[in-house]
Structure formats: structure tokens, C-alpha cells
Structure 1
């Protein structure tokens, strides 16, 4: 493994890591407890921004995390991918078990995706 950046957890929760293989040109731009912002130079010399993201469940912390994505979005000049655990759902069909999520939280997440022009990519089971 050529590169690694790990952000320590706060107590028993959180913690992020970004790992990349030998030969991949990755430049970490910024990081916090909620994200790791990096630029990746592809083999064809194009640059892609990759954000590793961990969404918070507490209301105040969740807003801070969304604000981080907003700040990154304002400086993006290249294609970008945000991956990780948003701790949010767009609709109840994404929820398995546990208590139902309030509609306002689903609307908030939907609005953030629209505002940042992000597309939800569903996992493929095949």
C-alpha cells in the first residue's frame, strides 16, 4: 500500500481512512472528522476529486457535515465523487429494520444532493 490517510475516531464513533494503491497519484487537499478531500490524477492525466464522507446522525453535527460538502463543492473544477456513509436515506425503501426516519430528514438529504448536483448510485447485487 503506497498511500494512506487515517482520521482518528472521536470516542467510539467515526474515524475515516483513505487508502490507495501503488502508482496512483493522490493528493489529499483537506480533511476533518467528517471527510477526506483528495485529488486523483488518472492514467490519462485527467484529475478527479474524491471525497470520502461520513455523515453524522446528530442534527448539529449533520449540518456541519453538509456545510463541509458545500464548501468543497464551491471549489470543484473537475469531476467529483463523494463516497462513504451519509447516515441518511432518500426514501423508506432504503431502510432495513429499526425505527422509521422522519420525512424531514429524507427531504433534507434529497435537497443536499440536488443542491450539490450529486447523483445517488445504487449498489448492484450482481
Structure 2
């Protein structure tokens, strides 16, 4: 099964629609989690109409930032939307190819530390409730674990960084090394 987590940094423009569609055709994923779509629900519905073979659901933006979406190929997997919050989405996945069920959380962490901590608390509750299940948690946390992950700005340890380190440790999450990406977490 091929799952992609993609921070699209806005996908309102037709040029971005084409770029994403081309990426989907090249990578041929079963499921894609989008972060930072910057789209209203109406705009997301219009986007999906252009991709006739895909199904999906989206969380609307608040103001001009954020926005989440999960799209999938219904021939390959079945998705049941469970919760669609502002900063995270939860769904249950059934993969036809491996005949297996798991839960997926797509997250886009807010930039403000207090909102990050609240988002992580909410997701902790979900993880605790699903402690006997396989859960894949991915997306853009908008936080770092180590100062070596940071480019520019303040060089000191922040409350957000400490909170994120505690969140990762408390939930038994671990980094999954990839050959084409970074900051990927799994439980």
C-alpha cells in the first residue's frame, strides 16, 4: 500500500491542481493526506470533481491558513471518515490489496504553541482510545524535535519543542527513516 503525506502549501490555483494531479498520476498512491490546502470545503469539492477516480474529504481552513484533506483510490481502499477537526482528521482504512484495517490521523499543527499543545492533547486522547489498534499518524506538526532540524530564527529550545518532545515520548512514537523525506512519525 502506498500512502503519501503532502504539504501542498495551498492548492487553490489551477496550476497547483495540475501539479498535484500530475504527481498523483506519477506516484500512483492508494491514499494521500494533504496539509495546508488553504481551501474552503466548496473549493475542495470542485478540486475532487476534476479527479473523477478519487474520493475524499476535507477540513476547511480558518482564515487563510491550514486546511486538511484525505483522498483515496476507491478501487484500492475503503475509507470511513470518523472525525474531521480543524487541525486533524481521523479515518478508518481498509486496504483491499493486503486485506487489512488500520486507523489514520492526518495532522496539520497550528503555529501557536498553545494551539499546538491543545491539538496534541486531542490526538493523545484518540491514540489512547485506539491503543489496541494499528494507527498511522502523519502530516505536518509544525514543530521540531531537535535544533539541528531548524534553519534560521531563534537558536534556543522553545516551549513548542519541549512540548513536541514530550508528545512523541508520551505516545511511544518513533521516527521512520525514509529515503526521500523527513519528519515522518509512526506508532
TM-score between the two structures when normalised by the length of structure 1: 0.88
The Cα shift of 1:16 comes to 0.5
Q: How many residues align?
A: 126
**Residue number in structure 1 paired with 2:90:** 37
Residues 3-82 of structure 1 aligned to structure 2 (within 5 Å): 3-23=55-75, 24-43=77-96, 44-76=98-130, 77-82=132-137
**Alpha-carbon contact 1:16-1:35 (below 8 Å) kept:** yes
CA distance in 2, matches of 1:45, 1:2: 20
**Residue number in structure 1 paired with 2:152:** 97
The Cα shift of 1:112 comes to 0.4
List runs of 5+ in structure 2 lacking aligned partners: 1-52, 182-187
Describe the SS at the equivalent of 1:12: coil
CA distance in 1, matches of 2:146, 2:170: 18
CA distance in 1, matches of 2:113, 2:147: 19
CA distance in 2, matches of 1:20, 1:42: 11
The Cα shift of 1:101 comes to 5.5
Describe the SS at the equivalent of 2:172: coil
Query: What CA deviation, in whole Å up to 9, does each residue of 1:36-92 have, x standing for no partner?
Result: 101111233321111000111212211220111111112213211111100010101
CA distance in 2, matches of 1:55, 1:6: 16
**Residue number in structure 2 paired with 1:116:** 171
- Moved runs in structure 1, 4+ residues, more than 4 A? none
RMSD, aligned CA: 1.8
The Cα shift of 1:103 comes to 4.0
CA distance in 2, matches of 1:57, 1:31: 19
The Cα shift of 1:102 comes to 2.8
**Residue number in structure 1 paired with 2:13:** none
